[in-house]
Structure 1
Amino acid sequence: MIYFDNSATTMADPAVVDTYDKVSAAVWGNPSSLHNFGEQAFNLLEQSRKQIADLLGVNLSEILFTSGGTEGDNWVVKGTAIAKRQFGNHLITTAVEHPAVHNSMEQLKQLGFEVTYLPVDDEGRISANDLRNAIRPTTILVSTMAVNNEIGAIQPLDDIAAVMRDFPKVHWHIDAVQGIGKGLHDHLFNDRVDFMTFSGHKFHAPRGIGFIYKRQGRTLAPLLTGGGQERNLRSGTENVPAIAAMAKALRLILTDEKAKVEKQQAIRMAIYNHIKEFPKVTIFSRDDPVFAPHILCFAISGVRGETIVHAFEDHGIYMSTTSACSSKKGVESSTLKAMNVDTGIANSAVRVSLDEHNTLAEAEKFNQVFDELYQEFDKLD
């Protein structure tokens, strides 16, 4: 089996699973309980928080645990709207955001908030000038993804930061779910970003666990109220085994990060350089530094994306249409639509997404299978 669907989810690292199992068996107290079992769980919870904070170079108090990327995005978008409603009702995001951001914005529109969706160019990236021109006196939040989950385009984070420095009272949120461990740390953790969203299962941690980075001093209303966990910002008994496992997974993914990124880029380019020679192939993830090293999105004219996915699956190669969240629903790629890609081509788009465990040998096998399938598809005309 060749697994090329890592942007949908990664395999949990065996060492991470081992940590999860050990903590589940040995540290099963409630971190909020006063007795020794509770204290043991609380200490491990805070040790994990500190490990994550140290790995990312931030303060311990700036890490807050969630159930994953969807909750994190919902929390920052809606939590900012609630917390800053008295200061304005205008939100800005991009036309290519993950549904967790887009649908949160749409929900807020129903409650009277105004939303600006910034257009993107033919690379799927916004213009910093468009952002500057969109900011109003009533703007309270700008939300941009770091790496597009469909085509791998990296938003111009440094340019966005330069704009946001002129608007220090406006929250800036980055959906960094696809950006961790991809050599982007210095662009993500700049001196202006206020919130970031992360999801554990994108870097070999268990499903159902994640965290947000919240800059000290920034206000954020809770979405989940109850017992007052996570500094009274996210109630609910903390999932200590998954949190400890996620801290370990983060340490592992950031170890030798540069070498892992270079390896993924080499694999990506081995496939890119092969398939670009075929006349019916359109590649949306370009050979350019503004694209992430692990995502390659392409289309074969005249062949629907799900047909391509299943054809490769028959050869033991697993990938997806542009987004795992929408692939089973047959929904058109929101990113390609925003890039004004013809619907026929957009419906043919598929995504290869890599991690550090993939190999050049797998890329060679992919290319061999691609050649066979391309000939079969060509006969369909």
Structure 2
Amino acid sequence: MIYLDHAASTPIVESALNIYIKSLREDFANPSAAHKLGKSSMKKVERARQLILKSLKGSKKDQLIFLSSATEANNLAIKGIKLLPSDRVHYSVGDHPSTSEPVKSLNSQLVEIPLLEGGVIDEAKFLESLDKDSKLVVLSHVNNQSGNHYDILSLGKKVKDKFPNIHIHVDGVQGLTKVETNLSSLIDSYTISGHKIGAPKGVGALFIKDGVEVETQLHGGGHEFGIRSSTVNTPLILSLCEAITAGLEDVITNNKKVKRINSLMREELEAADLGITFPFSLDDTSPYILSFLLPSISSDIVLRHLEMKDIYVASSSACSSKAKGFNAGFDAMKIDQSKHKFVLRTSFSKDTTTEDIETFVKEITNIIKEIKRL
């Protein structure tokens, strides 16, 4: 099997799986219980919370809320900020639906962050669009479709220099463990997803900067500082902590390795002379994601042929895979609507090999040539 869909979901890291299984056996008590067994479980959760905050360069005063997913985290951050109808919220239509859809549900003034061709933010126009009524800016660390990597610290500083009280929320799902992450300043909230970084599905986290107030969206027993009620899931949280710790050990080394893999695929596909084009530059994107345009062949058709060879890729983000034809994200990135159905996304891990890439290129070459002959 060749798995090139890591942006959708990742295999569980072995050490994270071992900790998860061990905790399932040992930490079955309710962490909110008053007895010793419950307190022991909660102590492990609090230790994990501090380890993750430290790895993110956060402070002990910052908050890390454990919850079920990135979607829940983005909804909590975006809907939890106290906004008035007159307040302005800046967001990108090109970002994941778990950020754009909660924004669209707000009763505030919505302002699209302008993108240039290739998915790069038009910084000049974006900064010009900010004013005294701007209260929330929603960014992605790495775009899930194009792979565009945004310098959130540089952009965050420019935003805060103009209007220090603007809340900056970042969806870090495709960034954490793949690019260096420093939340020591500027970023007010940051979303983490477990299954994108080698932890199980069903766990995520929301970083909240000290002093930032987020309104409770899930009421109940007052868990997680009263912000997110629900019985704390110790095994998932410990597994998430291990996946983050393991993933951050060699971020720079792994990034360089994956960049070579990304470059190799680009070179091999260009050499195959299939008519494939690359709308997103490697210089502007995370090497972990490579999306390209097929030569007037539906990506869904190519995907089905590849899966028969036990090769797995994506024709769009997993959350948008049922949408046909028009893709709002690609449209915002200046890709002509007539080409949206030709976009194929591949995404890698540090364990993706050159042999995987060579086999993929060989098989997709045969598939495209066969389809063209029909």
**What interval of TM-score do these two structures reach, taking the shorter chain for normalisation?**
over 0.9
Q: Which residue of 1 aligns with 2:307?
A: 313
CA deviations 1:321-355 (Å, max 9, x no partner) are: 12111113436332211122122222110100001
Q: Which residue of 2 aligns with 1:106?
A: 104
**Number of matched pairs:** 371
| Mean Cα deviation higher: 4-13 or 333-342 | 333-342
Shift in Å, 1:366: 1.0
Q: Which residue of 2 aligns with 1:91?
A: 89
Q: Distance in 2 between matches of 1:136 and 1:222?
A: 28
Q: Distance in 1 between matches of 2:332 and 2:151?
A: 17
Matched ranges for 1:55-134 at <5 A: 55-60=55-60, 61-80=62-81, 83-85=82-84, 88-108=86-106, 112-134=107-129
Q: Distance in 2 between matches of 1:365 and 1:39?
A: 51
Shift in Å, 1:85: 3.5
Secondary structure in 1 matching 2:192? strand
Shift in Å, 1:136: 2.5
Secondary structure in 1 matching 2:211? coil
Shift in Å, 1:318: 0.3
Matched, 1:139 2:134: yes
Shift in Å, 1:194: 0.7
| Mean Cα deviation higher: 201-210 or 294-303 | 294-303
Matched, 1:160 2:155: yes
Q: Structure 1 stretches of 5 or more lacking a match? A: none
Instruction: Identify the match of residue 347 of structure 2 among 350, 353, 365.
Output: 353
Q: Distance in 2 between matches of 1:156 and 1:63?
A: 22
Q: Which residue of 2 aligns with 1:363?
A: 357
AA matched with 1:327:
S
Q: Which residue of 2 aligns with 1:8?
A: 8
CA deviations 1:175-220 (Å, max 9, x no partner) are: 110001122324xx36211111010100000101011111101111
Q: Alignment RMSD, CA only?
A: 1.6
Paired residues of 2:90 and 2:112 also in contact (CA < 8 A): yes
Paired residues of 2:327 and 2:337 also in contact (CA < 8 A): no
Q: Distance in 1 between matches of 2:266 and 2:276?
A: 10
Shift in Å, 1:15: 2.0
Runs of 4+ in 1 over 3 A off after TM superposition: none
Shift in Å, 1:271: 0.6
Q: Distance in 2 between matches of 1:158 and 1:224?
A: 30
| Mean Cα deviation higher: 325-334 or 216-225 | 325-334
- Per the alignment, do residues 331 and 209 of structure 1 end up closer, same or farther by CA in structure 2, a change over 3 Å counting? farther
| Mean Cα deviation higher: 349-358 or 124-133 | 124-133
Q: Distance in 2 between matches of 1:105 and 1:339?
A: 19
Percent of aligned pairs sharing the same letter: 26
Q: Which residue of 1 aligns with 2:245?
A: 251
Instruction: Identify the match of residue 182 of structure 1 among 178, 185, 192.
Output: 178
Shift in Å, 1:364: 1.1
Paired residues of 1:320 and 1:352 also in contact (CA < 8 A): yes
| Mean Cα deviation higher: 197-206 or 275-284 | 275-284
Paired residues of 1:200 and 1:209 also in contact (CA < 8 A): yes
Shift in Å, 1:231: 0.9
Shift in Å, 1:84: 4.1
Instruction: Identify the match of residue 171 of structure 1 among 150, 156, 167.
Output: 167
CA deviations 1:292-345 (Å, max 9, x no partner) are: 011010121221110111111111110011211111343633221112212222
Q: Distance in 1 between matches of 2:174 and 2:278?
A: 20
Paired residues of 1:285 and 1:295 also in contact (CA < 8 A): no
| Mean Cα deviation higher: 275-284 or 98-107 | 275-284
Q: Distance in 2 between matches of 1:280 and 1:171?
A: 44
Q: Distance in 2 between matches of 1:185 and 1:45?
A: 22
Paired residues of 1:31 and 1:237 also in contact (CA < 8 A): yes
Q: Distance in 2 between matches of 1:104 and 1:211?
A: 17
Matched ranges for 1:224-263 at <5 A: 224-263=218-257
- Per the alignment, do residues 311 and 292 of structure 1 end up closer, same or farther by CA in structure 2, a change over 3 Å counting? same
Secondary structure in 2 matching 1:236? coil
Secondary structure in 2 matching 1:85? coil
Q: Which residue of 1 aligns with 2:186?
A: 192
Instruction: Identify the match of residue 292 of structure 1 among 286, 291, 296.
Output: 286
Secondary structure in 1 matching 2:282? coil
Paired residues of 1:284 and 1:296 also in contact (CA < 8 A): no
Secondary structure in 2 matching 1:143? strand
**TM-score normalized by structure 1?**
0.93
Q: Distance in 2 between matches of 1:68 and 1:276?
A: 38
AA matched with 2:132:
P
Q: Structure 2 stretches of 5 or more lacking a match? A: none
Shift in Å, 1:17: 1.5
